[in-house]
Amino acid sequence: MNPESDYNSRLITYARSLAGLDPEEILKKLGIKHYKKPILKMPNAELIKEFGKSAKNINKSLFIKNVIWQTYEYIKAGEKPFDIGNLRSFWYYIKDTMDRVGANKKGDAYNIVSNMFVLMVKSGLFKYRDFGFDDDDKGNRWLGGKYAHIMLFAEKTSYTDLLQEVNRNFDITTIAVGGQSSYLSVEYFVKELSNAGIDLAKEFIIFSIVDFDPAGDIIATNFTDNLDDNGIKHIKTFAGQFYKNFKRRDLVIPANMDPEQRKRVYRLPLSVRKSGQAAKWAARTGGVNGKKSIEHGIETIVMSKAQILELFETELAKTVTIDLEAIAKYREMKNLKNQTQAWAVKKLQLEG
């Protein structure tokens, strides 16, 4: 695990340890106060006094946490202190003050903004949607109908064509996250499921297309953890040769590859091997050789999309009974309903 991933993991663990505490206690532990004066308008000397890391520098994390909280209080009071778009919009909202006090000279302050939001959301202080942020990943997911509680999750957006095909063919939910799953997007995603009348208390079944390596394992694990944080608590667990409680069925694994594909490995970075993350992953999965090797991983690209699709259909059939004829009829009725609604809207427009 690289240093950034390790930090994110520790941040999330700490946030979850705070969840469930009284909000005022969480604020106290995070060093957040209730300021009457707008923090962003404080003179430099006052900013240093309140958030000083040294005589010349502010503690960026502490400053950003307090600005986020004050902004949340403004929004709760009915004020809109900045043009709400995405998280980068918030960054631009505080950037001038950060520049003025010299806090942007070193490090990635935008990344700190993102991390502090994760910390505060996962600790339960508020939701992303309380700020009205845009969901930049909305176009990479497709809700199912009859089988919405079954999901096919992909690490890479290069699989969107396959995901759309699966969504159409089996009426299940599919989603691509483009790397590490965004907690913001998962929050909105679960809200969409709820708004569609899908019972979040039902057992959810998750299949995944992720690289067979430590990073892929982390991405898939974080996705299911984020679902859990947002109310999907009952996720089917799958047993494997080396593990018993994976909350998903990974499709890209050596057992599903032919001998030539299993040879197409790449060497894990030295930092990953030294961090201990590779050893944890190999102990959980057996590694590429089934003997808990920490040397190599395998990317999803070694398996063709047609092969993955065929494998998914086989795995899906083991898990749930899929009536293709019933799905076809359901889809036909759904299309008819959509066409009828479109016709009714057009008629009303013409009559108006």
- In this prediction, residues 295-311 reach a mean pLDDT of 95
pLDDT at position 3 is 54
- In this prediction, residues 56-81 reach a mean pLDDT of 92
pLDDT(80) > 90: no
Residue with the bigger pLDDT between 189 and 85: it is: 189
Are 190 and 235 a contacting pair, CB within 8 Å? no
pLDDT(15) > 60: yes
Query: Mind listing the pLDDT tens digit for each residue in 39-49?
Result: 999 999 999 99
Range among 81-95, 180-194, 227-241, 294-308 with highest mean pLDDT value? 294-308
In this structure, of 10-14, 94-98, 180-184, the range with the lowest mean pLDDT score is 180-184
- In this prediction, residues 138-145 reach a mean pLDDT of 93
Would you kindly state where each structural domain of the chain is located, as residue ranges?
3-130, 138-321
pLDDT(255) > 70: yes
Q: Which of the four pLDDT bands, split at 50, 70 and 90, describes residue 75? A: very high
pLDDT at position 5 is 62
- In this prediction, residues 152-174 reach a mean pLDDT of 94
In this structure, of 150-159, 239-248, 339-348, the range with the lowest mean pLDDT score is 339-348
Q: What is the pLDDT of the chain when averaged over all its residues?
A: 89
Q: Which of the four pLDDT bands, split at 50, 70 and 90, describes residue 52? A: confident
Q: Which of the four pLDDT bands, split at 50, 70 and 90, describes residue 275? A: confident
pLDDT(330) > 90: no
pLDDT at position 181 is 59
User: In the chain, pLDDT over 70 holds for what percent of residues?
Assistant: 92
Are 113 and 87 a contacting pair, CB within 8 Å? yes
Phi, psi of 235 (to 5 degrees): -115, 130
- In this prediction, residues 172-197 reach a mean pLDDT of 89
Q: Which of the four pLDDT bands, split at 50, 70 and 90, describes residue 1? A: very low
Query: Mind listing the pLDDT tens digit for each residue in 228-241?
Result: 999 999 999 988 77
pLDDT at position 76 is 94
pTM, 2 dp = 0.82
pLDDT at position 331 is 62
Q: Which of the four pLDDT bands, split at 50, 70 and 90, describes residue 134? A: confident
CATH of domain 138-321: 3.40.1360
